[in-house]
Chain A
Amino acid sequence: MTLEELLANAWVRGLVASVLVLTGILVVAAWATWVERRVAGRLQNRIGPNRVGWFGLLQPIADALKLLRKEVLVPDRADRGLFLLAPGLLLFFAMAAIAVVPWGPGLVAADLDIGLLWVLAMSGMMLVPTWIAGWSSNNKYSLVAGMRAAAQGISYEVPLLLSALVPVMLAGSFNLSDIAEAQARDGWYAIWPPGIGLAAFVIYFTTSLAEANRIPFDIPEAESELVAGVSTEYTGIAFGLFQMTEYIHTWLSSAVATLLFLGGWHGPFLGDSWWAGLIWMVLKTSVLFVSIMLLRWSLVRLRADQLMRFCWVWLVPISLGLVAATAIWIQVAQGGR
């Protein structure tokens, strides 16, 4: 049996793809922590980790080893089962969401026709383990954080989905690959249709910050008031999973925003090969990812009630209006479909 015949088998193909995606995203998440710490260091007039390996590049490995060697403590009155389930479930949903993200032409583990819905559903489901962690810890700070996370997540789902509908309507598909391909024809949806696309991109980017619990929307992990939010009682690698999931989620949000609004894997140079697509995709995602970091390290945090007001008073009506405007645009400028 040749390699090609082996890969033609759906089971083998799925296994290889999932191993590649899982390994890739774990590597990205690990070194994203290093990038963030270096970026924050530059921004704050300090150096950041530079001791372990060349430029501190082995720091993530050292951190992971340290977390793995530490005891996973379960508080006495905590709900042991749910407490230990939460971080794993959180990582599971993050991984499940990332499975349908295409990284180049054909470079996708699961090319679902409802890819975008799947991503939004899975990242929406990440609320549940966050909430479980908050409640099962039996810590008042965690409880407050869990309730905040639930309220925030449910609210911000609405503008997230509505603003993601704009490229879906323009491309006529929920498939992320199709949306990226459609932008090769129509141009970046962040630029075209003028105004509407940019507004939708800004709203999508803002709400995905809230979904990934990044400043200024990180009230579920508001460490200055809630110690460490839902992860207060977690130690060792269980705590590490929370951190890792946060980076995976941020990376996922950046990748989906790239696919929906920034033309996906299409770029002006390097041609249409799969590796060129991968380079463009990673480059664009990284730009968004680093800009999220810069935002995080230069803004202060909103209060919970201000956050909700911002969502329901501004984001939801505007994104509803954008959906309507897109429909009009398709009918008027593109003459319907």
Chain B
Amino acid sequence: MTHAVFDALNPPPVADVHLDLESYDADADLMVLNLGPQHPSTHGVFRVKLVLDGEVIVKAVPYPGYLHRGVEKLLEKLTYAQQTPIVDKNDYLSPMINEQVLNMAFEAGLGIEVPRRARWLRTILAELQRLASHLVAIGTFVMDVGGSIGGGASMFMYTFRDRELILDLFEDLTGGRFHYNTHQVGGNRHDVPVGWDVSIRAACDQIERSLDEWDVMTVKNGVFRDRTIGVGVLSRDLALQLGASGPIMRASGIDLDLRRDAPYHLYDELDVQVATGTGGDCFTRYRLRAVECRESIRLIRILLEDVPEGPLCSLKPSKGPTAVKIKDGQWYVAVEGPRGEIGTYLIAGGNKGMSPYRLKIRPPSLHALATVPYLLPGHTLSDAVAILGSLDPIMGEVDR
């Protein structure tokens, strides 16, 4: 996020909130419960230490780090051309966007333009990936609220059925269903297969129909509303102070979307309608993701109307892993991922210009989890799981 965009939000000064996370009154009748790292509803290996008074949470201390793989250090050793498949595994529900933001940073470092056809393809891949990621977010959130044997599991199955359609599209394009390695410095690697637009339209129609059905199961369902409305309210100020971004921030009433406010790819030609909510609770976050799914479908349909011709990559076919060399300098590139602002901060100049000196990835999930100690206290154990689900964290990118 550029400074200008952020300053325009007029963020409040960072409050000097001292969260006393470790100590608690040992004499009180409290129970310490470690939620995770091996727990079915912590979306991987997240651990929260909860101090419970009965079932009500008094204190919540998050402990990320169980999935640390040293990705950023690894990226310092690999050459630029070798890095794309590594970042696929960071946010493993939106690898396309990981690849894009990484290669956009390299392209900024090289100062090269990406051909229009590649930018078109990247835009459509980003929107499809956002759709796929939001489907998982919706499904797993309802499963956290509703149980993995029960109505939540049904919803989970429905969303995964429709996500398969998008994975099929990616498989048609790249051959991979999960880890694609389709972006490269200067453009894209795989060209659009024949008949792809027909498949995309069919998938969009199906998902649009499903979104209407799911509303009956969730938004119009009294039990679901009881469980989510007013639960885990994140205030606007706190969202700004903690750096929450994406749907979590917009659900708290902050009207910011990098696709519209700092456009990249072809987004400056698209009229991105940014949805915001006012509740800041689990219900609003859920609704907002469903609305963003519809917006993504709308954008995909507009993109399919005009397919640009031309080359797919502005660089010549790579002669080897060391072909890309970036001169010393610093660049920060951020895009709007499904979970919020996902950024790459590149300091070039390592390994004779063939590798970054340092490459920092800004994961939106980490900043979403920063809200946990503020959101959980006062809620019950059941709500803790619902709140964690509504934040939609991906531990792969939190711990890296």
Q: Mark B126-142, 1 if CB is under 8 A from A, else 0.
A: 00000000000000001
Q: Does A296 contact B (CB under 8 A)?
A: yes
Q: Is the CB of A300 within 8 A of B151?
A: yes
Q: Is the CB of B381 within 8 A of A224?
A: no
A253→B39 CA distance, assembly (Å):
32
A190→B33 CA distance, assembly (Å):
46
Residues of B bordering A, CB below 8 Å: 31, 33, 39-41, 55, 142-154, 157-158, 161, 217-218, 221, 223-224, 226-227, 380-385
Q: Is the CB of B158 within 8 A of A44?
A: yes
A216→B55 CA distance, assembly (Å):
19
Q: Is the CB of B380 within 8 A of A305?
A: yes
Nearest-neighbour CB distance to chain A for B233, whole angstroms, equals 16
Besides A44-B158, A224-B147, A224-B148, 7 other A-B contacts (C-beta < 8 A):
A144-B381, A215-B150, A222-B382, A224-B41, A224-B146, A225-B385, A306-B227
A303→B229 CA distance, assembly (Å):
13
Which of A225, A297, A301 has the most C-beta atoms of chain B within 10 angstroms of its own C-beta? A225
Contact of B146 among A226, A299, A304 (CB under 8 A): A299
Q: Is the CB of B146 within 8 A of A300?
A: yes
A225→B57 CA distance, assembly (Å):
13
A296→B223 CA distance, assembly (Å):
13
Q: Is the CB of A224 within 8 A of B152?
A: yes
Q: Does A230 contact B (CB under 8 A)?
A: no
Contact of B227 among A215, A223, A303 (CB under 8 A): A303
Nearest-neighbour CB distance to chain B for A28, whole angstroms, equals 20
Q: Is the CB of B226 within 8 A of A306?
A: yes
Q: In the complex, how many residues of chain A place their beta carbon closer than 8 angstroms to a beta carbon of chain B? A: 30
Q: Mark A33-74, 1 if CB is under 8 A from B, else 0.
A: 000000010011110000000000000000000000000000
Which chain A residue lies CB-closest to B140? A224
Q: Is the CB of A297 within 8 A of B380?
A: no
Q: Is the CB of B55 within 8 A of A144?
A: yes
Tally A-B pairs: CB < 8 A: 103
Which chain B residue lies CB-closest to A46? B157
Q: Mark A203-229, 1 if CB is under 8 A from B, else 0.
A: 000000000000110110011111100
Known interface pairs A224-B148, A297-B150; A302-B384 also in contact (CB < 8 Å)? no
Contact of B382 among A40, A215, A219, A299 (CB under 8 A): A219
Known interface pairs A44-B153, A44-B158, A218-B147; A223-B221 also in contact (CB < 8 Å)? no
Nearest-neighbour CB distance to chain B for A63, whole angstroms, equals 15
A279→B223 CA distance, assembly (Å):
36
Q: Is the CB of A301 within 8 A of B153?
A: no
Residues of A within 8 Å of B154, CB to CB, are 40, 43-44, 297-298
Q: Is the CB of A299 within 8 A of B150?
A: yes
Nearest-neighbour CB distance to chain A for B60, whole angstroms, equals 14
Please provide the chain A residues from 253 to 273 with a CB less than 8 Å away from any CB of chain B in the complex.
none
Q: Does A13 contact B (CB under 8 A)?
A: no
Q: Is the CB of A302 within 8 A of B227?
A: yes
Residues of A within 8 Å of B382, CB to CB, are 219, 222, 225, 301, 303-304
Q: Is the CB of A218 within 8 A of B381?
A: no
Known interface pairs A44-B153, A219-B382; A304-B55 also in contact (CB < 8 Å)? yes
Nearest-neighbour CB distance to chain B for A313, whole angstroms, equals 13
Q: Does A140 contact B (CB under 8 A)?
A: yes
Residues of B within 8 Å of A302, CB to CB, are 223, 226-227
Q: Is the CB of A227 within 8 A of B40?
A: yes
Which chain A residue lies CB-closest to B33? A140
Q: Is the CB of A300 within 8 A of B142?
A: yes
Nearest-neighbour CB distance to chain B for A199, whole angstroms, equals 18
Nearest-neighbour CB distance to chain B for A19, whole angstroms, equals 32
Residues of B within 8 Å of A301, CB to CB, are 145-147, 150-152, 223, 227, 382
Residues of A within 8 Å of B33, CB to CB, are 140-141, 144
A216→B151 CA distance, assembly (Å):
9
A43→B156 CA distance, assembly (Å):
12
Residues of B within 8 Å of A305, CB to CB, are 55, 380
Which of B142, B148, B151, B384 has the most C-beta atoms of chain A within 10 angstroms of its own C-beta? B151
Known interface pairs A44-B154, A45-B157, A303-B380; A222-B147 also in contact (CB < 8 Å)? yes
Q: Mark A288-313, 1 if CB is under 8 A from B, else 0.
A: 00000000111111111110000000
Residues of A within 8 Å of B144, CB to CB, are 224
Q: Is the CB of A297 within 8 A of B383?
A: no
Residues of A within 8 Å of B217, CB to CB, are 298
A301→B382 CA distance, assembly (Å):
10
A242→B8 CA distance, assembly (Å):
58
Q: Is the CB of B147 within 8 A of A303?
A: no
Which chain A residue lies CB-closest to B35? A225
Which chain B residue lies CB-closest to A299? B151
Which chain A residue lies CB-closest to B143? A224
